[in-house]
Every structure is written in C-alpha cells, then in structure tokens.
Chains A and B, each alone.
Chain A
Amino acid sequence: MIVYENVTKKYGDVTVVDNLSLTIDDGEFLVLIGPSGCGKTTTLKMLNRLIKYDEGNIYIDDSNIKEINPVELRRNIGYVIQQIGLFPNMTIEQNISVVPSLLKWSKEKQHKRVRELLEIADLSYEENAHKYPRELSGGQQQRIGVLRAIAAGPPVVLMDEPFGALDPITRDILQDELKALNKKLHKTIIFVTHDMGEAVKMADRIVFMNEGKVLQAASPEEMLENPAHPMISRFMGKLSYSRSGNDLICADVMRLKVLTVPETKKTLECIELMKQREIDSVIVVDKNNKYKGRANIEDIMEHGKPGEPIIKMVKLDTPSVMVNTNAKDAFDHLIATNIDYLAVLNRDKTVAGIITKTSMTKSLASVVWGDDNDYND
C-alpha cells in the first residue's frame, strides 16, 4: 500500500503539490490526470524520489521512503517515461536486464528473465534480443520500455505518459497489452496521462488534479456520471458522448455542404451540375427552400425530357430525417435501406445537411478518438 500523507512540493513561491493525501491499494491501477502544471507528474516522481518533496511523508508498505536509499528505492519501483529512454548503446537484452544487472543477478538468471519477458510480450527472443533500440519502431521500443520497468519484478510501476508519443493506433494496442499484462502480474500501477479516454480505459481509479490538489478521486464510471467539478466535465467533453452515444443527434454527424437545386431548374442544367460536382443525385427544394425530395442522375437520363423542370424527376418518397433525430436511428436507417445518403431537415423543412455513411463514420471517429483532426470536410 502506498500512502501520501499531507505532501507539499514548492518551487520557489509556486506550490506544485498542495497538501496532498492519497492512498493507493496494492494491485490498483491508479491514473493521475489533469491539465498541464496540475502536479500529476510531480506527484508521480516524488514516489521514486526523482523529485524531493518539502513537507509531509510518503509510505510504501509502512516504510517512509525518506528513510530508504533513493538508488535502492528506484530499483524496486518500475519506471516508464514518455520519451521511452531505452539506452541506444545497449542491445534490447541489455536494456531489459538493466535493473537485474544493477541488482547483481547471475548472468543465467538475467538471460532467463529476458527470454521470459519477451515471451510475455509476444516478441521473439531470437529476432529482437540482439537488436539495438533504434532498429525497432516506437511502439516496439515502448513495449521494451515496459519490460525493462518490470524486469526485476517490482511491485510498483510508475508510468509517466508512457504512450503519449505514439500514434493513436499503436497507443490503443499498447494500452490493451498493458491491461492484459497487468491482469497476469497484478502490479500497483501509477499512470500519468492528460488523455481522459486513456484514463477511463485503463484506470481502476482516476485521480483528477488541478493546481496541486485532488479535485476528484473516483472510479471511471463514477467520474463520468458525476464529475465533481466543471473542469472535469470539460476534460471528459466528447468522452461522455461516446459513453452514451445515444446523445448524438443527426446535427452532430451530418455533412453541411450540400448541393440543392430549385424545383424549377431544367433537367439538363441539373445533369451538368452533377457532372461538375461528380455526384449522382441532387436535393430538390421549392421556392421557400423547403425540401421536396431527391433526383437521381439515372432517372433523369432514363425518363427525363430536355427542358422539363427537375421536379418531375423527384422521387417523393425519398427518406429524410430531422436535425434532432437520434443519430443512431438515422444510422440504422442508412444501413437498413442501403441508400447512399439521408437528407437532414430543419424544423421548417429546409435542408440542413446530409448524412452519408462516410460522414457518419468520420463523426464517430472524431467522437471516439477526439477531434484533434478536422474530420468534417
């Protein structure tokens, strides 16, 4: 068990960690999260004494870490950092056995342990052990970074944004692997992140910090349901959507740029327009911009006569949804009828946008993986 007891850390006049008290159970996966400068990394690094604290005490299994030699202490605590920090001058095998070799394990024992660990991580010993870090991809390097941290079997592992520098797909895979790994190993893990999605996925308990204080410490479910502070809700932002995708409405997932034509437009002009835009149907509106239906290029080609207004070609039963229709209903409809898009109408029946399978997928992606990239075209 790890106990922070009224711990304070100041840099000059700035209080980075403010009278923090926190208890972490054995085998708990604890995630520290908060805006930058909230003290989460400092809280982590005080535990292996990379950062000295000014007041209070920290206990690991009832021994005050101040009374433990820092070098000894660190050999008994795994440590994984965002920059990975594998030693480029050492092979993968040497990197993994850094701590065992510091602990003066016999060569055979070290070697056996490296084989065992690579096996756990599903990496072939023959292929990887004698490579150097730069010969591996970033994701593979961090797998080794995690193995190095657990090599000597420490009961506690500290992870400082370990997957922060990896691409989203690799990050997701490594998160899953770490979760699976810890199901077997039952380490106490303290994990710093600024990504609420990661926190929710990994944590047994999330500790949300701001200005050196704990705003809320709760299970992911509880934090999602009852965020104790507006800042926490903001951090969850998009995430609460993905938890309850039922909140999404058509307005969230539709494409805004839509080609509409007035019902009086001639068929030939419409065909020209569609060719220009490389689309195969148009949405037809009346003079008040109210939705009438859609016209397909095939229908116009087949039945249309030159000079006729487009309204004659409109299929009046074309499905449409309202902006506030539940996105899931629209999605089901799209899948069930196998049409290529749905028109989305405002309350006054003017056209707000369309939902295509692509726009739906993109919106879902931005909800699931955040909106760092602009998915809407």
Chain B
Amino acid sequence: MTSFLDKYGDMLLKASLVHLQYVLTSVGIAFVIALIVGILLSRAPNISRAVIPLLGIFQTIPGLIFIGVLFIYLGIKPITVLVALTIYAIFPILKNTYTGIIGVDPSLKEAAKGCGMSDMQILFKVELPMAMNPIISGLRMATIYTVSWAVLAAMIGLGGLGEFVYRGIETNNQVLIIGGAIPSAIIALGLGYLIDYVHKKITPRGLQGGA
C-alpha cells in the first residue's frame, strides 16, 4: 500500500484533481442549462411530453460511442470530454426540474396568482422552492453518474482517474485498476454527501420530512 502511494501518489492526486475538475465543470454547466431548459419546458407541457422521451432515448447512447464521435469533431482537447459529460449530466437534472415544477400543487399556483404574483415571482417564490427536492435529487444523480463517466476521458488520453483504470487493464495490473476505482468512488460518495448536506441546510422546515 505504502509502496503504491510512494510510486503513484503524486500521479493519483493529480489525476483525482483533474477528474474532480471534469465533474464539477460539466455538472455545473449542465445544472444551469438543465434548470433553464427544464423551466422553459414546464411552460409548455404539450411540447414537453414529446420532447422529454426523445431526450431520454438520446441518453441511452453509450458514452463510449458519444465520446468517440465528439473526438472526431473536436479533437483531443478537454473540451471534448466536458461537452460529452455535460450533455450526459443535463438529462437527469432537466427531467427532474420539469417533473418537479409540473408536479407543484395547482392550488398553490392559483393562490400565488391570486395574491398578485407575476409569473417570475411564482417561479422563484413558489414553483422552484416546491420543486427543490426533485431538482436536487436529479443533481445528485447526475453528479454521481458523471464521476463514473469521467473515467472515459482517459480513453482519448485526457487524464483523470480513468488513466489508472485503462493502464491497469492494458498491463493486467489489478492494483492500478483499484487505485483508480477507489478514489473515484470516494469522490462520488463525497460529492453525494456534500449535496445532501447543502440540500438539508437550504430546505425550510416546512418542506422537510414527508413533504
């Protein structure tokens, strides 16, 4: 164990940081895009009922193929990885944002409107807070997936913890595979925990528990 760390410690740390960077950047961008698109889709449920299953099909294309295709157009640049990861991370957040907003009790929206809230005020004061649970669970799901998808970055030689995994497979070195897998599991768990913690902090008491 110590010899592994002596030998690969620096590399592992660097790879973890690159990995984390990929995840945070792509999930961050995906969150913003998904939130905006999800909100827009929630304004037009008729269109959305057709659009969202379509996006879902898109989601089933294996990441391997997707990154391969993007690589042809965008080349070996971090942007290739970021674009691919972002696109994958969008869907869970988008879908949960949409269903979360659509699922807000119509009587609350009516009460908000009747109180004289503008559409924007209804969105920010009522719909988004009420849809926060599904939105954040979508974010959590997307984050954890992205940690494992980011392993694919190494496939086109762009680093991250996948490098250990691939090198381990090529050289039939189990220690390297596990050396890449454990930190990525730790990152996934850590980010998941962080999101849960923040979620709990920002949820008002009135929405905690059963709500």
Interface residues of A (CB under 8 A from B): 48, 50, 71-76, 79, 81, 83-91, 98-99, 102, 132-135, 148, 158
Report Cα–Cα, A148/B118, bound state, in Å: 17
CB-defined A-B contacts under 8 Å, sample of 15? A48-B114, A50-B114, A73-B116, A79-B115, A85-B112, A86-B111, A87-B111, A87-B125, A87-B126, A88-B130, A89-B204, A89-B206, A91-B206, A132-B206, A158-B114
B63 at the interface (CB under 8 A from A): no
B117 at the interface (CB under 8 A from A): yes
Q: Using Cβ atoms and an 8 Å threshold, which residues of chain A touch B118?
A: 71
Contact among B121, B204, B206, B207 for A102, CB-based, below 8 A: B121
Once A74-B114, A89-B130 are accepted as A-B contacts, the answer to whether A83 and B206 lie under 8 Å apart by CB is: no
Closest to B130 in A: A89
Closest to A99 in B: B115
B68 at the interface (CB under 8 A from A): no
Contact among A89, A98, A133, A135 for B115, CB-based, below 8 A: A98
A50 pairs with B116, CB closer than 8 A: no
CB distance from A43 to the nearest CB of B (A): 15
B77 at the interface (CB under 8 A from A): no
CB distance from A140 to the nearest CB of B (A): 14
B44 at the interface (CB under 8 A from A): no
B196 at the interface (CB under 8 A from A): no
A81 pairs with B206, CB closer than 8 A: no
Interface range, B side: 20 to 34
Most interface-central of B115, B126, B204 (chain A CB within 10 A): B115
Contact with A along B100-129 (1 / 0, CB 8 A): 000001011011111111100100011001
Q: Using Cβ atoms and an 8 Å threshold, which residues of chain B touch A71?
A: 116-118
A74 pairs with B113, CB closer than 8 A: yes
A85 pairs with B204, CB closer than 8 A: no
B110 pairs with A85, CB closer than 8 A: yes
A148 pairs with B130, CB closer than 8 A: no
Q: A73-B116, A85-B107, A85-B114 are in contact. List 10 more A-B contacts (CB 8 A).
A: A50-B113, A71-B117, A74-B116, A79-B111, A85-B111, A87-B125, A91-B204, A102-B117, A132-B206, A134-B211
Q: Using Cβ atoms and an 8 Å threshold, which residues of chain B touch A75?
A: 115-116
